[in-house]
Amino acid sequence: MPLILCHSPKGGAGTSFVAAHLAMALAEAGHGATAIDMTRQDSLKLYFGLKPISEIPDLEAPENQGLTIGGVSLRQGWRATHAPAFANALDNGELPFSGGTFVVADIAADDTALRDQLLPHASLMVVPVSPTALGLAALTQVVPGTPLIDLDYTAFIINRLDETRRFARNANSFLRELLGGKLIGSIHEDESVNEAVAMAKLLPAHAPASGALADIRALAKTIAQVCAPPQTEEEAA
């Protein structure tokens, strides 16, 4: 059950978009996937074609009360993950998730306490970065005091990359040099993403040829490989 944290130190980097479509791309590739919205904003569901007034099941709701869209089980985790019982479970080495699926957690930019609680239990933290001056400046806050290249179990994604913009192109080059192999890819700016949300549609249904969709599918393959458990000697044979 790989736990993947999606967290950026800068709001507006598109973390909820990345979390939602990463989960959908993993499901599309044949993996079990659960997406948990651990934010107060509750916007993850919008990328699944739901409306702002729609409710999704609580993390602790029974299995038979679940909601599955695009092959992904959706859960709202704000209440459960901010209750004392959740922290106590983590302190005891217990993750309140079950099954052998990928669990993708959407964590708010300012909720570093929850991120730090979950990080020791995660297979990977995915950090979306916007190719802007503010996005680059926020990199110092990923884990303050630790060089980015030294961060374990951490991967970076450039989100909303518009290569017609000079600064974005330069930021892309800078990040590739700075992060090396920790930068696992980029997602291009694509207005069909906002269009799909506005029309309460899934992006694959609204714009099957979306460039952003193709980018996130490629990233999902990379992430699935990174998070795959090592083969045993019997499996390798």
Q: Per DSSP, what are the bridge partners of residue 68?
A: 73
Q: Is the dihedral of CA 142, 220, 38, 101 positive or negative?
A: negative
Q: Provide the pLDDT for residue 38.
A: 97
pTM metric for this prediction: 0.94
User: Which CATH number fits the domain 3-227, given the four candidates 3.40.50.300, 3.30.499.10, 3.40.640.10, 3.40.630.30?
Assistant: 3.40.50.300
Q: Per DSSP, what are the bridge partners of residue 58?
A: 76
The contacts found for 193-200 with CB under 8 angstroms, 24 or more apart, are 193/17, 196/47, 196/49, 197/46, 197/47, 200/46, 200/49, 200/50, 200/51
Cα dihedral 43, 107, 27, 222 in deg (nearest 10): 130
Domain locations in the chain as residue ranges: 3-227
Residue 226, token pair as written in the block:
């990174």
Q: Per DSSP, what are the bridge partners of residue 125?
A: 5, 154
Residue 6, token pair as written in the block:
């999606």
| Strand, coil or helix: 70 | coil
Residue 106, token pair as written in the block:
């959407």
Residue 149 near residue 179, CB atoms below 8 Å = yes
Cα dihedral 90, 13, 158, 4 in deg (nearest 10): 20
Q: What does the pLDDT profile of the chain (237 residues) look like in tens digits?
A: 799 999 999 999 999 999 999 999 999 999 999 999 999 999 999 999 999 999 999 998 888 888 999 999 999 999 999 998 888 888 887 776 656 789 999 999 999 999 999 999 999 999 999 999 999 999 999 998 999 999 999 999 999 999 999 999 999 999 999 999 999 999 999 999 999 999 999 999 999 999 999 999 999 999 999 987 655 455 444
Burial state string for 111-146 with b = 16 or more CB within 10 A and e = fewer than 16: bbebbebbbeebbbbbbbbbbbeebbebbeebbeee
Closest listed residue to residue 175, CA positions, set 209, 145, 148, 144: 148
Q: Where are the beta strands (DSSP E) in 130-182?
A: 154-161
